[in-house]
Amino acid sequence: MLFVSAYDYPEPIRTIMMISQIATGIGLFLIAFFAFFYYLKEGYFETKRTKSYIIGIASVFSILGLYRFFFFYHDFFAPDENSFVLWRIGNLILLVGLISLNFLLERYIYKKTKYIFTVISMIFGFLYLIIINKTIATIILNIGTFLMILFPLIIHLIIAIRGSGWVRKNALIIVLGIIILSFSFFGLFVLETLGILNTTTSRIFGHPIALVGYIFIGYGLIVMLREE
């Protein structure tokens, strides 16, 4: 079987990269599991609102976990001739997860934006879906991903500024998580482009850094409705 050449690294680097991706995927599914466990334990499935919210959060992290495992296959085991199709599908899964996250935030956490962020996210997702040219699709993907991460950051910065006590603390935890996640998505890429980091280092440490961000975000989102 031919492997995707971008990940044709010698051992043990290749194995380390594989473990890095697997650990991130498992971590995302564990966050989803913890969401169900936490709310079942605390008895917060009693209202329709909290039930729908927690199912949504668990679904978002499950989708992101699926995205990571999908790219694990793409990066290490997929034949080269299937690389583009799998790349398209994998990134579409990511966009679905991020669109769902923005929808949940605007539906349950911060309604003043009137689903504007969700609509913008869906537009970028639709454009990515219909545009075949990889260069243009990549540009749309990068801009869309950036905005879909930026929108939750804006929402929780507003909550942190206007809120107080536990609400502010929780919002700041999510903000910190988003900043860490953004660094793993975009910061390492910039450092790699500038020649400060090499590609191997960026790809080894990018996933664990992202997982740390996901953990902060997941915790904040899971306990968001705790004191209502």
Boundaries of every domain in the chain = 9-222
CA–CA gap between residue 222 and residue 143 (Å, rounded): 27
Task: Report the pLDDT value the prediction gives residue 93, as an integer from 0 to 100.
Answer: 97
Task: Report the pLDDT value the prediction gives residue 69, as an integer from 0 to 100.
Answer: 94
Task: Report the pLDDT value the prediction gives residue 164, as an integer from 0 to 100.
Answer: 85
Q: Which parts of the chain register pLDDT below 70?
A: 1-8, 10, 42-46, 225-228
Phi-psi region of 43 (alpha: psi -120 to 50; beta: other; left: phi over 0): left
- Among 93, 108, 226, 110, CA closest to 162: 110
CATH 1.20.1070 given to domain 9-222: yes
Task: Report the pLDDT value the prediction gives residue 2, as an integer from 0 to 100.
Answer: 35
Task: Report the pLDDT value the prediction gives residue 8, as an integer from 0 to 100.
Answer: 65
Task: Report the pLDDT value the prediction gives residue 200, as an integer from 0 to 100.
Answer: 79
Residues 6+ apart with CB under 8 A from 25: 65, 68, 69, 72
Task: Report the pLDDT value the prediction gives residue 65, as an integer from 0 to 100.
Answer: 96
Report cis status (omega within 30 of 0) of the bond before 152.
no
Task: Report the pLDDT value the prediction gives residue 85, as an integer from 0 to 100.
Answer: 92
Task: Report the pLDDT value the prediction gives residue 215, as an integer from 0 to 100.
Answer: 96
CA–CA gap between residue 59 and residue 97 (Å, rounded): 8
Task: Report the pLDDT value the prediction gives residue 103, as an integer from 0 to 100.
Answer: 97
Task: Report the pLDDT value the prediction gives residue 5, as an integer from 0 to 100.
Answer: 42
Task: Report the pLDDT value the prediction gives residue 43, as an integer from 0 to 100.
Answer: 66
